Chain A
Amino acid sequence: MDKPLNRPIQQTLNDFSFIGQDNVRVMDEVYEEDSFWKQLVKRIAKNKGSVFGFVTITLIIFMALVGPMISGYEFDEQIAGHESMAPRIPVMENFGIFDGSETLKTSTGELVVNKYETIEGGEDAYHWFGTDVLGRDLFTRTWVGTRISLYIALVAVIVDVFIGMSYGMISGYYGGKVDNAMQRSVEVLNGIPNLVVVTLLIIVLKPGLMSITLAIAITGWIGMSRVSRASMLKLKESEYVLAARTMGAKDMTIMYKEILPNIFSQLLIMSMFSIPNAIFTEAFLAFVGIGIPVPMASLGSLISENFKSLTTHFYMIVPPVLVLALLMLSFNLLADGLRDALDPTMKEV
């Protein structure tokens, strides 16, 4: 065993050769330094679903802002004689679709009617989505209703960020008795079903947008506060926090300057996911009849109103259902894309 070790090593020149310039070349790959947001946008752009979501949301927001102005009708304007008219769209009517005719399946046979031809001044009237049983333009009403849903989305985000995030962070950061008290009260709040909270609110307040907003403000932030508390618990023991504290940073600085940037992406995803929930809650409340009062419109109340004519004039329910479905789907897709883009484990660097 020790023989080879004791043998003197003789080296000749032939034992060595030049590595040569061809074999080793240190190439410095230069990574473009992108900002956080720029990276985010790049990654999202790779995800087709979330691009679709983003485009649809932009389109819907645009239509909600502009739609009611370009239709030429007011959302609560009841035009006598224009009750229950089928959709009629310029240009497209020439192709035999959306020309204002509809087929009524009466018990004595099918009946094709076109109200635009029978009523006075009907030839010049265009209702792109048709009208409801009271003679109100559905195009205008649908986009006015979409405004409500978008407003609810905005409320949900604001509530999530301002109440949910702060509540969870404070609870997690201070821990101990503070945490205990705050978490128990959240559990109590969470124990009351949403519907009950809204119903109670409506007894106290008038039914309307205010009580729905309040209902979301009261209960909508609980999921968010849980996430931010959990992230806070994880990060508050880390070294950089200790370092900051040693340097004499105040609690507020540590929470909002040191920890928040590190958990922000999770919170962003969370609040995006809460939007479709909030929109659906409003639509559901409107559908069961405790939403905004008539003649105001929201997507939910439009669905609820027009559902009553489903077997007679089915076209009435299609626009609000489509917009609601698209809006919820798009927010979900966008949130999905955001999550993938922000997930640190999926970063390629």
Chain B
Amino acid sequence: MKNLSKKSLWLSGAASLLLLSACDTEATDEVDESVEAEAPAETDEQVLNVQLNVEVASMDPQIATDGTSFEVIANTIEGLYQTDSDGQAVPALVESAEKGEDGLSYTFKLREDATWSNGEPVTAHDFVYAWRRLADPDTGSEYSYIMGIAGLVNANEVLAGEKAPEELGVQASDDYTLDVQLANPVPYFESLMSFIPFFPLNEDFMTEVGDSYGTSPETLLANGAYEVSSYEPAATTIELDKNEEYYDADNVVLDGVDYQVIKDSQQAMLSYQNGDLDLVTLAGEQVDLFKDDPEFVNVQAGYLWYISPNTLVEGLENANLRKALATSFDKQQITDTILKDGSVPADYIIPDGLAVGPDGKDFRETSDTYLEYDPEGAKESLEAAKSELGQDSFTFGLLVEDTESAINVAQVLKSQIESNLDGVTIEIEQMPKKTRLERMKQADYDLGLTRWGPDYADPMTYADLWVTDGNNNDGAWSNADYDELVYSSIDGELSLDDEARWEALKEAESILLNDAGVLPVYQKGNAVMVQDNVSGIDFHAVGLPRVYKFAVKE
């Protein structure tokens, strides 16, 4: 009897599964039908279908922190500047900019034909409002410190809560003139203005919708090429329509952009081959299958993956041990056999192609490389560390987020470190990205495989990460000379002299890496497939990964 009932349980379980999946197919069928139903009516509609790897975390420009959110926001909202296909800042809402002679003030004249999608004009007040909002500690923006990097007068005091946001060095002298006062020259200020947290918001609209901003198409405003027509928090599909109110609408060819969140790269590729997607990102093994395809594109991204050692952990405060770890894994093997997506080994911390110096050359062209793969040297460093620490075996946990590539890379790291370094054991702890970030924030880790994407085109976007007590200095690495060089480059003496500053940043990098304060692994490349009837998508290494304003689908 018992077994019978068990069987029937199984049966009913299977039946309910079937039912569930039936519901699923029904739901998708419905969606398909509605799409098909619309299609005959407007057959010549050009909609770009794009795959996203993760959901959009926030549509609020001052709250969002991740690349995916940035991409969608940047399609709907435009700031003072935007990056062109070469990664240079070009004017967007700015008609003309005037830089004070000492580099301490900017006057931006805004274009007068820009409007929000509700018909209101985009004015200088919108910028003042958004910037004060960003700096206001009550907003709780994780990117608020960027106001200090931008060097606005009183920015650090407002961030610390010592002064009111109204005292921030930005004013609207009339509706279309924005005055900015800086505490120190910031050579990359214009590039910084194309970064999402500096994007404007309409104060009246914000007061109207309150906290519900960015939770539905009705609570979103656009002044960019597209406006949101379908969105909800954590949505797996997001639809953007062309924004007819956009001042440059004549140059926007697409009728819209549809985003689909597909986390599994195989599934995404199947959709691409069915023609349901126009742009997908490939992973690992798939690259082999498609690398000869004319639709295959390899894009270098600025993201740098590195291991952050927690110097508060016993053993890792020893520079020789960190150096031994940093030089004991073969980066070339990781990029060539595991990732295969165009990633390159990183023997540096300022990515290639990030920033061009006063000499007109890329930062990497004129600077050295550090911590190359060197198993013999690693063994020597380890011996030195062993005698300094009086310890023969070390066990460290390695925090990894649970994505396919991160887990694979971590397993290679573990295997190579353990085989090259006698007595070192690595224990991989995999967890969701959010948990990993939290644990690293609380310094509750030994080693963490993490990444940082460049926010603006200047080495400072990386260099300021590792100053003592820095917001993102999870490993608590500290060096007085490094601090001095970086702080002086932000708002001290060096900030006044472009060339000396450039040299100082090179020196800072050498201090950091010669002490193995971080263990660089690789600079990410992206392997993407773009349908051959699609053109005009801009891929960027800095700030925004992809821009669709000029995309065309034939």
Is there an interface contact between B415 and A107, defined as CB atoms closer than 8 Å?
Answer: no
Least CB distance, A303 to chain B, in whole angstroms: 14
- Could you say which residues of chain B place their CB within 8 Å of the CB of A78? 411-412, 415-416
Q: Is B269 an interface residue (CB 8 A)?
A: yes
Which residue of A is nearest B404, CB measured? A308
Complex CA gap A77/B289 in Å reads: 26
Is there an interface contact between A312 and B415, defined as CB atoms closer than 8 Å?
Answer: no
Complex CA gap A107/B411 in Å reads: 30
Q: Which residues between 384 and 434 of chain B lie within 8 Å of chain A, taking CB atoms?
A: 402, 404, 407-408, 410-412, 414-416, 427-430
Is there an interface contact between A104 and B288, defined as CB atoms closer than 8 Å?
Answer: yes
If the complex has contacts A289-B402, A308-B266, are A294 and B411 also in contact, measured as CB distance less than 8 A? yes
Q: Which residues between 430 and 449 of chain B lie within 8 Å of chain A, taking CB atoms?
A: 430
A-B residue pairs in contact (CB < 8 Å), sample of 28: A76-B415, A78-B412, A80-B330, A80-B333, A81-B337, A105-B289, A106-B289, A106-B292, A108-B293, A133-B285, A134-B411, A206-B429, A270-B2, A273-B3, A289-B430, A293-B428, A293-B430, A294-B407, A294-B430, A295-B411, A295-B414, A295-B415, A308-B283, A308-B404, A311-B270, A311-B286, A312-B289, A313-B285
The 6 A-B residue pairs with the shortest CB-CB distance, nearest first, are A312-B285, A107-B293, A78-B415, A106-B289, A311-B266, A83-B337
Q: Is A309 an interface residue (CB 8 A)?
A: yes
Least CB distance, B45 to chain A, in whole angstroms: 27
- Number of B residues near A (Cβ < 8 Å) is 37
Least CB distance, B379 to chain A, in whole angstroms: 18
Q: Which residues between 299 and 322 of chain A lie within 8 Å of chain B, taking CB atoms?
A: 308-313
- Could you say which residues of chain A place their CB within 8 Å of the CB of B32? none
Q: Is B290 an interface residue (CB 8 A)?
A: yes
Which residue of A is nearest B286, CB measured? A312
Instruction: Apart from A273-B6, A295-B411, A312-B289, list 13 A-B contacts with CB within 8 A.
Output: A81-B337, A106-B288, A107-B289, A107-B292, A107-B295, A108-B292, A108-B293, A134-B415, A206-B429, A293-B427, A309-B284, A311-B266, A311-B270
Least CB distance, A288 to chain B, in whole angstroms: 10
- Could you say which residues of chain B place their CB within 8 Å of the CB of A227? 2
Which residue of B is nearest A227, CB measured? B2
Q: Which residues between 87 and 109 of chain A lie within 8 Å of chain B, taking CB atoms?
A: 104-108
Least CB distance, B334 to chain A, in whole angstroms: 10
Q: Is A127 an interface residue (CB 8 A)?
A: no
- Could you say which residues of chain A place their CB within 8 Å of the CB of B411? 78, 134, 294-295
- Could you say which residues of chain A place their CB within 8 Å of the CB of B6? 223, 273
Complex CA gap A312/B265 in Å reads: 11
Q: Is B338 an interface residue (CB 8 A)?
A: yes
**In-complex Cβ contact of A311 among B269, B338, B410 (8 A):** B269
Which residue of B is nearest A77, CB measured? B415
Least CB distance, B54 to chain A, in whole angstroms: 16
**In-complex Cβ contact of B285 among A269, A293, A309, A339 (8 A):** A309
**In-complex Cβ contact of B428 among A105, A273, A295, A308 (8 A):** A295
Least CB distance, A142 to chain B, in whole angstroms: 17
Q: Which residues between 246 and 294 of chain B lie within 8 Å of chain A, taking CB atoms?
A: 264-266, 269-270, 273, 283-286, 288-290, 292-293
Which residue of B is nearest A206, CB measured? B429
Q: Which of A266, A293, A308 has the most CB of B within 10 A?
A: A308
- Could you say which residues of chain B place their CB within 8 Å of the CB of A269? 3
- Could you say which residues of chain B place their CB within 8 Å of the CB of A311? 266, 269-270, 286
Is there an interface contact between A293 and B429, defined as CB atoms closer than 8 Å?
Answer: yes
Which residue of B is nearest A226, CB measured? B2
- Could you say which residues of chain A place their CB within 8 Å of the CB of B292? 106-108
Least CB distance, B431 to chain A, in whole angstroms: 9
Q: Is A211 an interface residue (CB 8 A)?
A: no
- Could you say which residues of chain B place their CB within 8 Å of the CB of A135? 337
Q: A-side interface residues toward B, CB under 8 Å?
A: 76-78, 80-81, 83-84, 104-108, 133-135, 206, 223, 226-227, 230, 266, 269-270, 273, 289, 293-295, 308-313, 339
- Could you say which residues of chain B place their CB within 8 Å of the CB of A273? 3, 6
Least CB distance, B331 to chain A, in whole angstroms: 13
Is there an interface contact between B288 and A312, defined as CB atoms closer than 8 Å?
Answer: yes
Which residue of B is nearest A269, CB measured? B3
Which residue of A is nearest B10, CB measured? A277
Is there an interface contact between A107 and B3, defined as CB atoms closer than 8 Å?
Answer: no
Which residue of A is nearest B287, CB measured? A312
Least CB distance, B265 to chain A, in whole angstroms: 8
Least CB distance, B64 to chain A, in whole angstroms: 27
- Could you say which residues of chain B place their CB within 8 Å of the CB of A309? 284-285
Least CB distance, A158 to chain B, in whole angstroms: 20
Which residue of A is nearest B266, CB measured? A311
Which residue of A is nearest B415, CB measured? A78
Least CB distance, A301 to chain B, in whole angstroms: 11
Complex CA gap A104/B291 in Å reads: 12
Which residue of B is nearest A84, CB measured? B285
Complex CA gap A119/B167 in Å reads: 66
Least CB distance, B12 to chain A, in whole angstroms: 16
Complex CA gap A81/B297 in Å reads: 25
Which residue of B is nearest A78, CB measured? B415
Which residue of A is nearest B270, CB measured? A311
Complex CA gap A311/B290 in Å reads: 12
- Could you say which residues of chain B place their CB within 8 Å of the CB of A294? 407, 410-411, 428, 430
Least CB distance, A74 to chain B, in whole angstroms: 10
Complex CA gap A295/B266 in Å reads: 23
- Could you say which residues of chain B place their CB within 8 Å of the CB of A106? 288-290, 292-293
Complex CA gap A227/B6 in Å reads: 12
Least CB distance, A206 to chain B, in whole angstroms: 8
- Could you say which residues of chain A place their CB within 8 Å of the CB of B414? 295
Q: Which residues between 281 and 336 of chain B lie within 8 Å of chain A, taking CB atoms?
A: 283-286, 288-290, 292-293, 295, 330, 333
Least CB distance, B429 to chain A, in whole angstroms: 7
- Could you say which residues of chain B place their CB within 8 Å of the CB of A223? 6
- Could you say which residues of chain A place their CB within 8 Å of the CB of B265? 308
Which residue of B is nearest A336, CB measured? B3
Which residue of A is nearest B410, CB measured? A294
If the complex has contacts A227-B2, A311-B266, are A134 and B295 also in contact, measured as CB distance less than 8 A? no
Is there an interface contact between B284 and A133, defined as CB atoms closer than 8 Å?
Answer: yes
Complex CA gap A226/B2 in Å reads: 9
Least CB distance, A187 to chain B, in whole angstroms: 17
Is there an interface contact between B289 and A80, defined as CB atoms closer than 8 Å?
Answer: no
Which residue of A is nearest B407, CB measured? A294
- Could you say which residues of chain A place their CB within 8 Å of the CB of B270? 311
Least CB distance, B398 to chain A, in whole angstroms: 10
Complex CA gap A227/B2 in Å reads: 8
- Could you say which residues of chain B place their CB within 8 Å of the CB of A230? 2
- Could you say which residues of chain B place their CB within 8 Å of the CB of A107? 273, 289-290, 292-293, 295
- Could you say which residues of chain B place their CB within 8 Å of the CB of A76? 415
Least CB distance, B400 to chain A, in whole angstroms: 9
Complex CA gap A312/B270 in Å reads: 12
Complex CA gap A76/B416 in Å reads: 11
Complex CA gap A308/B407 in Å reads: 12
Complex CA gap A273/B412 in Å reads: 40
Complex CA gap A339/B3 in Å reads: 9
Complex CA gap A81/B412 in Å reads: 13
- Could you say which residues of chain B place their CB within 8 Å of the CB of A313? 285
Complex CA gap A134/B333 in Å reads: 10
